[in-house]
A = this chain, B = another copy of it.
């Protein structure tokens, strides 16, 4: 099948699958870890293999085991490594801005980055409302997230068209995706006004606003976004949008962007 050149991927792939299972789905309250057999069955692998792999991972601190329930969960080492990621650094800088937005408007605020054609949420600051879905660490299709428009704002038209052509969405979500030309117009709006507004966000009854965050080279490396209850008027949406745009601009400056000039380099590279 996967006709690979000789890269040692077999063991690693297995370990990653295990870690992915242990991370859970983010939403499910699968709180207190998973047992060997369950994981093995879920992955369609031998119990023995999973058992041994988990022990090895435990030795390295990537997972830890509850001594009484014998269930595994992700370990301190993984978190320590994650903390040294550039994403972690970004989150630390961005945190105050997100908090400011969340408290100012009492709506959920997010920090997202682009990964392939998916939008990965790095951080979410919840509002005070009761129902709060955790999106941190979860990737969603680019077209579904409000942050998407901001993250690709610098792409040239051709690449956008390609993206829209290629992407397939879960059925029934087409309503969230407007036509190609509308998208291009939206991106122009982002570039000029500094923020994007989308009528439909991840959940129904939510609209979204977002704004691009640029690094010191002027490349878009992240986006701040907020999902706003639809009850709000369009005017308020734009009020929030302006605030989000301003926050993103401030954050960009914190990341080393020189404020005034437009040192925007050719967006051939989007990889963070």
Contacts and interface: CB of A to CB of B under 8 A. Distances in A.
B11 A11 contact: yes
Contact of A85 (B7, B74, B102): B74
Contacts of A103: 116-117, 159, 162-163, 166
A56 B7 contact: yes
Which residue of A13, A31, A217, A269 has the most chain B CB atoms within 10 A of its CB atom? A217
B217 A91 contact: yes
A139 B156 CA distance: 31
A13 B118 CA distance: 31
For chain A, which range describes its interface: under 10, 10 to 19, 20 to 34, or 35 or more residues? 35 or more
Contacts of A106: 116-117
A84 B79 CA distance: 9
B80 A271 contact: no
Contacts of A162: 100, 103-104
Interface string A217-260: 11100000000000000000000000000000000001111100
B83 A82 contact: yes
Contacts of A213: none
A19 interface: yes
A76 B26 CA distance: 16
Given A80-B23, A256-B82, A128 B115 contact: yes
A32 interface: yes
Greatest chain B CB density within 10 A among A8, A15, A53 is at A8
Contacts of A134: 84, 87
Given A31-B92, A89-B74, A80 B256 contact: yes
